[in-house]
Amino acid sequence: MNKFYITTPLYYVNSKPHIGHSYTNIAVDTVSRFYRMKGYDVFFMTGTDEHGEKIEKATLAQGFKAGEEKRFVDDIVPVFKELWQRLGIEYDHFIRTTNDDHIKAVQAVLDKLYKDGKIYKKIYKGWFCTPCETFWSEAQSDDGFCPDCKRRLEKLDEENYFFKISEYQQWLIDHINSNADFIKPDFRRNEVLGFLREPLQDLCISRSKARMSWGIEVPFDKNFVTYVWFDALINYISGIGYPDDVSRMNKYWPADFHIIGKDILRHHAVYWPIMLHALGLKAPRTIFAHGWWIVKGEKMSKSRGNIVDPVALIDKYGIDTYRYFLLR
């Protein structure tokens, strides 16, 4: 029997789901149903991304105390699960990055890369965008503003751990050029190749606990937690049993289809395949990046206050109408 492993991104639980999240899950659910009808052994995974500075801040903003992040995320995860149930999303596994087996997998990845000499420590001087949870170099920063979201960046000058992604730049370019279906649609592949024309900077993969402690502890240095993106991307393998359940990993990996929004293309099409390659694992078959739901020309987001609530639309028009409208 042919297998088909398909994923949504993990949703960040600093706020409730809006129609953008539901669009991605409806698209993945529809593709999953199609493959099930064709007789494939489909594994459809979705879930939630629960670490990082934004969650730490949202916890306090919602009236919880420092250190109560787990209570905050435990409250909001059911809101996502209820919406998926309401929308008829038939996933096979819901992964949370605060699950013990995910935490173990992230630490196993860090340990392996550290022992293989792929992770080293140095002073990081540069910028960090908290809303995007993304590091930017001096050259990439827009005079202290985020080149992606245009918000003010935070200046960082601290010791951190780095992953030697620069060693894999040519491998990645060759992989993209020899696998036409690896990044879809084609204009997104060209975007990634454009980004790869500049030399890759090694990826900062830690945050000092003194600054931000809500994350997975770096196994070889308890003063640090793992950078939230490095943590979250590993869900695609931890969710199918990495590193212990070898037979399940062999059955489902590589993923056939990662569907994501265009804003997280670089994390998925640059960092993620390099992480996998460094671990001796295959790259996913296809990464498909869709566009955004926009309101009056702007991306829908909580901080912009232009959210459309899926539940209100379902109540008014019904589930099939809603699913059809978004996909159409």
Q: What CA dihedral angle connects 209, 213, 219 and 220, to 10 degrees?
A: 0
In whole angstroms, the minimum distance from the beta carbon of 81 to Zn ion comes to 28
Of 320, 321, 302, 316, the closest CA to residue 21 belongs to 302
Residue 264 sits in the site that holds Zn ion (CB under 5 A):
no
Encoded one letter per residue, x for contact with Zn ion by CB under 5 A and - for no contact, window 45-64 reads --------------------
Nearer to Zn ion (CB atom), residue 89 or residue 270: 270
Residue 132 sits in the site that holds Zn ion (CB under 5 A):
yes
Of 194, 171, 191, the closest CA to residue 287 belongs to 191
Gap between the Cα atoms of 125 and 178, Å rounded: 36
Nearer to Zn ion (CB atom), residue 110 or residue 129: 129
Q: Which stretch binds Zn ion (CB under 5 A): 16-24, 26-34, 74-82, 132-140?
A: 132-140
CB neighbour burial string for 117-147, b if at least 16 within 10 angstroms, e if fewer: ebbeeeebebbbbbbbbbbbeeebbeeeebe
Nearer to Zn ion (CB atom), residue 177 or residue 303: 303
In whole angstroms, the minimum distance from the beta carbon of 129 to Zn ion comes to 3
In whole angstroms, the minimum distance from the beta carbon of 135 to Zn ion comes to 11
In whole angstroms, the minimum distance from the beta carbon of 130 to Zn ion comes to 8
The DSSP secondary-structure symbol of 134 reads: E
Q: Which stretch binds Zn ion (CB under 5 A): 118-126, 131-139, 245-253, 271-279?
A: 131-139
In whole angstroms, the minimum distance from the beta carbon of 2 to Zn ion comes to 40
Q: Which amino acid is at 37?
A: M
In whole angstroms, the minimum distance from the beta carbon of 304 to Zn ion comes to 13
C-alpha dist (Å) from residue 276 to 165, 253, 284: 11, 11, 9
In whole angstroms, the minimum distance from the beta carbon of 11 to Zn ion comes to 18
Number of residues near Zn ion (by CB under 5 A): 6
Encoded one letter per residue, x for contact with Zn ion by CB under 5 A and - for no contact, window 137-176 reads ---------x-xx---------------------------
Q: Are 327 and 27 in contact (CB under 8 A)?
A: yes
Omega before residue 254 within 30° of 0, cis: yes
Find the farthest-apart pair of alpha carbons in the chain and give their distance in angstroms, rounded: 57
Nearer to Zn ion (CB atom), residue 237 or residue 289: 289
Residue 129 sits in the site that holds Zn ion (CB under 5 A):
yes
Residues forming contacts to Zn ion in the complex (CB under 5 A) are: 129, 131-132, 146, 148-149
